[in-house]
Amino acid sequence: MPIAASLLAAFATAMGCGARASDTRDMVQLAVRYEHGEGVPKDLPLAIAMYCEAARMGDAEALYNLGWMYANGRGVVRDDRYAATLFSMASTKGHRDADKMLRYLGQPGAEGPECIREQPTYSTPADNPDDDDFVGRIIADNPDRRQLVDLVNALAPRYNVDPRLALAVIATESGFNIRARSPKNAQGLMQLIPETAERFNVRNAYDPVQNIKGGLAYLRWLLAYFRGDVALVAAGYNAGEGAVDRFRGVPPFRETQDYVRKILDRFRKHSHPFDESVTAPTAMLTARRVEAKPR
């Protein structure tokens, strides 16, 4: 089954539709499910993130639905100016219901919400001329993977994780295979072992959304624990943070060292912003800084 079809089917049987439409339409359909809790747990922030992502790509239905959420204060602070702008943008793309809403709200008087005016905090490699177009190659190799790329782009900013880092982990861990399972029972896209899945409240590691959320939560924690050191974060993801602490750096395991190299080759950054409120840093970093000071 193509990845796009597998992604849609994995959310719930209530989805009731295959991946026949465009990428943005598929994303809007998923967003509607999460907005209303149809076959999946209701998740308004995720629905909004997906609407924003599709709206940035010019999808009229996404613009209309996002306008409806602002007009009704659904998951966001009510803002009739934003709603009117979104309905106006949807109307110019031929959305008839948007015309009707404009009669009640009047003419737009704002640029629209920030999520459609600006790209996410972290750009993808396809937007960055300084790297080797990692995301572009992911999609070129298999166009169906765009569904997963869009999903990561929608979710990662919620965890303050660069989508490129998450995509590098997915590419290295599972090669974008939703059903991947390792000999050590690591499961799904981001290869969560059962202990990690439980730690980050993942009930079904083969559900793409749950798996990516769990992997992102772990990356956010590792980034705080290792204070944004990508090599240590990658080593921790592969071998566990305890192994990194024991060896006071990247463990001398060939698998882990190869893994770190692959992540750095794909992500192309050695440091990453982190939220220090997530967890205290490892004592190992403090000890290393003390040892490095000249006597």
Active-site residues: which are they?
173
Distances (CA, A) of 227 to 128, 248, 253, 276: 24, 14, 22, 8
Distance CA 53, CA 273 (A): 22
Q: Look up residue 86 and give its two tokens.
A: 């979104």
Q: Are 124 and 116 in contact (CB under 8 A)?
A: no
What are the Cα distances from residue 105, in Å, to 91, 112, 270? 13, 14, 48
Query: Rounded to whole angstroms, how far apart are CA atoms 188 and 173?
Result: 9
Q: Which residues pair with 187 in a beta bridge?
A: 181, 192
Nearest CA to 278 among 223, 200, 241?
223
> In this structure, are residues 177 and 1 in contact, taking their beta carbons and an 8 Å threshold?
no
